[in-house]
Amino acid sequence: MPIEIVPLHERPAFIDACSAWAYGQWGVHSPRTLEETRLLFASAVHGSGLPLTWVAQHGDYPVGMASLFEDDCSKRPDLRPWLAAVFVHPDYRGRKLAARLIETVEAAARARGEKRLYLITAHQQMLYERHGWRRTGTVNYPDRPCTLMEKHVAPADAHP
């Protein structure tokens, strides 16, 4: 059975899984509570703007996710939008799901007319560099050093 990438708004039953993954992975380093995290993912289902989330689905089960957020780092409100909440369940790692999820978010940003995306990561710089992202600095968020990265997502023939 193939693993599909589907918008969260098509699978609202996966909101709790996405919220738990996000909070479990980054909650201790985030200013958001579990309930605020859940509301963020619920807004990805009910809103027409950002955030947007995609889920990797294997059969009836979510196995990964990635999001396009308006803001993912309160210390850099000058930057937008953000690739955020990239997570693949440990049982499904090594199958290039992170790459598929990252590419899905990049394509969605491009379709929305965005020219670049940003992200912060504490430990996965090499993963993103393999996908064309470049390091642009560091930011302490909220209290640990993270690498700030960016990527141009506009088509090659688009004007900067």
Q: Mind listing the pLDDT tens digit for each residue in 52-80?
A: 999 999 999 999 999 999 998 888 999 99
Residue 152 within a domain: no
Residue 44 within a domain: yes
What is the residue whose two structure tokens read 């294997």?
58
Residue 147 within a domain: no
- The total of structural domains in the chain comes to 1
Residue 16 within a domain: yes
Beta-sheet strand order (sheet of 134-140) = 3-7, 52-58, 61-69, 82-88, 116-121, 145-152, 134-140
Residue 123 within a domain: no
Residue 76 within a domain: yes
The pLDDT of 107-136, averaged and rounded, is: 95
* Secondary structure string (H, E, C) spanning 80-140: CCEEEEEEECHHHCCCCHHHHHHHHHHHHHHHCCCCEEEEEECCCHHHHHCCCCEEEEEEE
Phi, psi for 118 (deg, rounded to 5): -130, 160
Give me the residues paired with residue 64 across strands. Answer: 56, 88
Residue 111 within a domain: yes
Higher pLDDT, 45 or 18: 18
Residue 59 within a domain: yes
The pLDDT of 111-118, averaged and rounded, is: 95
User: What is the CATH number for 54?
Assistant: 3.40.630.30
What is the residue whose two structure tokens read 């600095």?
137
Domain containing 61 equals 3-115
Residue 159 has pLDDT above 60, yes or no: no
Q: For the ranges 2-6, 105-109, 142-146, 153-157, which has the lowest average pLDDT?
A: 153-157
